[in-house]
């Protein structure tokens, strides 16, 4: 077992770290405050090849793997989570379903633009009435001649309403299985299709420089050929996508947790109270030591899950463990980093205030902490 990075992985991590510090850090607070999408940052990330990291070169990718994506996400989130979640959702939720399940024609149509970062795609699973219980999907798609007619709505869909959003994949009920359960399928809906409406962006607590919308489908017609993979495979498809996505969200959470350590060390050395730097107090040192301990162990958990996935082994339980642990410690670290910053930690101009606001969603998105526990317990045979 060797968790040391190869030279290539270390170089990727270094270049993303430098990009995050030099390009993202100076501009992101303004975007965060104004709730604007950082198009120029995203464009530059596209040029760096980040959107193509885990995809084969024949489809316009960089020929890397999912672990490379995770390393990039960790370094981005160490500085800012809005940008990191934009990349995570674009790659693991947006492009990956097309890459994994699409026909050659669908891949040729969508992947070049998605993998270069010129276009973004959303993943429409959650609905206003159902999230964790995805089998409760209400959105319906009926085949009418050579078209699907879609009716329903989706909630909280990332990257679904930017100026460069090209399409969303939508999970819909397309019939009834022999056992009486819902037949779920995934359908590609291009942006601008009549009957597909994108609501104004949500007013969010965190990730305010990322793009999230409610979507409605009102007799929305798309060609029958927009079915992704086989009819009735929707359930299996999103389970696979979410299993992988948990490793990516864990990496993002580790990045946020590590960013809290970075900022706390800096502040603890600068800030003086009672005639000395606050970092000379063992109470502060122990807080920072515990934060580092948490970031480090959560990193090992996602490295392990990614290694199993790439080896073609079962990784469901390990991905759930990594996501559950990393999101929990990200919230812990954000709380402690804010505490170390005192009143300034409550001011939006300090990165830790952003980390604090961005941390909570990590325990909710792509499967809540309760759902992760359900997955782990089930995998243990309970």
Contact of 24 with 79, CB cutoff 8 Å:
yes
**Closer CB to ligand FAD, 257 or 371, in the complex:** 371
Residues near ligand FAD (CB under 6 A) are 89, 93, 122-126, 131-132, 156-158, 204, 207, 212, 361, 364-368, 370-371
Give min distance, CB of 146 to ligand FAD, in A.
Answer: 27
**CA 154 to chain CA centroid, nearest Å:** 17
Distance CA 36, CA 206 (A): 13
Q: How far is the CB of 145 from ligand FAD (least distance, A)?
A: 29
> Measured from the CB atom, is 64 or 365 closer to ligand FAD?
365
- Pick between residue 102 and residue 124 the one whose CB is nearest to ligand FAD: 124
Q: What is the DSSP string of 316-357?
A: HHHHHHHHHHHHHHHHHHHHHHHHHTGGGGGSTTSHHHHHHH
Distance of CA 256 to the CA centre of its chain: 13
Is there a catalytic annotation at residue 366? yes
Of 122, 128, 127, give the one whose Cα is nearest residue 110: 122
Q: Could you tell me the smallest distance in angstroms from the CB atom of residue 139 to ligand FAD? A: 11
Least distance (Å) between residue 131 CB and ligand FAD: 2
Nearer CB in complex with ligand FAD: 202/344: 202
Chain-centroid distance of CA 201 in Å reads 17
What is the number of the residue whose Cβ is closest to ligand FAD? 131
Place of tokens 């291009």: 190
Q: Which residues contact 191 (CB under 8 A, 6 or more apart)?
A: 165, 166, 167, 168, 198
CB of 122 to ligand FAD, least distance (A): 6
- Kindly list the distances between the CA atom of residue 98 and the CA atoms of 41, 43, 102, 141, in Å, as whole numbers in the listed order: 24, 21, 4, 19
Q: Kindly tell me which of 72 and 249 has the beta carbon lying closer to ligand FAD.
A: 249
Nearer to ligand FAD among residue 92 and residue 109 (C-beta): 92
Please identify which of the residues 57, 363, 366, 370 carries the catalytic annotation: 366
Q: Which of 278, 371 has the CB closer to ligand FAD?
A: 371
**Distance separating alpha carbons of residues 42 and 233, to the nearest angstrom:** 32
CB count within 10 Å of CB 38 equals: 22
- The torsion region of residue 228 among left (phi > 0), alpha (psi -120 to 50) and beta comes to beta
CB 339 within 8 A of CB 319: no
What DSSP designation does 139 have? -
In angstroms, give the least distance from the CB of 127 to ligand FAD. Answer: 8
CB 151 within 8 A of CB 139: yes
Alpha-carbon distance of 253 to 85, in angstroms, equals 10
- Rounded to whole angstroms, the Cα distance separating 305 from 351 reads 29
**Nearest distance from residue 206's CB to ligand FAD, in Å?**
8
Residue 268 or 361 having the CB closest to ligand FAD: 361
289 — phi, psi (to 5°)?
-60, -40
- CA 328 to chain centroid, in Å, comes to 16
Rounded to the nearest whole angstrom, what is the least distance from the CB of residue 63 to ligand FAD in the complex?
Answer: 26
User: Catalytic positions, please?
Assistant: 366
């Amino acid at each position: 077992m060797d968790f040391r990075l190869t030279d290539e992985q270390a170089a990727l991590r270094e270049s993303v770290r430098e990009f995050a510090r030099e390009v993202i850090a100076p501009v992101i607070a303004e975007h965060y405050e104004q709730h604007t999408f950082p198009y120029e940052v995203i464009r530059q990330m596209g040029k760096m090849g980040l959107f193509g990291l885990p995809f084969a070169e024949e489809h316009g990718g960089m020929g890397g793997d999912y672990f490379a994506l995770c390393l990039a996400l960790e370094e981005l989130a160490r500085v800012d989570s809005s940008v990191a979640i934009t990349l995570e959702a674009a790659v693991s939720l947006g492009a990956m379903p097309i890459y994994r399940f699409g026909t050659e024609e669908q891949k040729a149509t969508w992947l070049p633009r998605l993998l270069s970062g010129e276009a973004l795609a959303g993943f429409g699973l959650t609905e206003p009435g159902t999230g964790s219980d995805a089998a409760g999907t209400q959105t319906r798609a009926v085949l009418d001649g050579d078209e699907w007619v879609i009716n329903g709505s989706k909630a909280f869909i990332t990257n679904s309403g930017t100026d460069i959003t090209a399409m969303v994949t939508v999970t819909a009920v397309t019939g009834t299985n022999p056992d009486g359960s819902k037949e779920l399928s995934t359908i590609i809906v291009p942006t601008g299709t009549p009957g597909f409406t994108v609501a104004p962006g949500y007013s969010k607590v965190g990730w305010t420089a990322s793009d999230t919308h409610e979507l409605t489908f009102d007799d929305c017609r798309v060609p029958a050929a927009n079915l992704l993979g086989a009819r009735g495979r929707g359930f299996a498809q999103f389970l696979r996508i979410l299993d992988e996505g948990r490793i990516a969200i864990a990496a993002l959470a580790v990045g946020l947790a590590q960013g809290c350590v970075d900022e706390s060390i800096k502040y603890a050395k600068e800030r003086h109270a009672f005639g000395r730097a606050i970092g000379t107090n063992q109470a502060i040192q122990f807080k920072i030591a515990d934060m580092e301990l948490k970031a480090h162990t959560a990193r090992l958990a996602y490295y392990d899950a990614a290694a199993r996935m790439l080896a073609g082994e079962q990784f469901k339980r390990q991905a759930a463990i990594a996501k559950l642990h990393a999101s929990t410690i990200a919230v812990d670290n954000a709380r402690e980093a804010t505490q170390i910053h005192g009143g300034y930690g409550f001011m939006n101009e300090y990165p830790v205030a952003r980390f604090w606001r961005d941390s909570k969603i990590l325990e909710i998105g792509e499967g809540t902490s309760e759902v992760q526990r359900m997955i782990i317990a089930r995998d243990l045979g309970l």
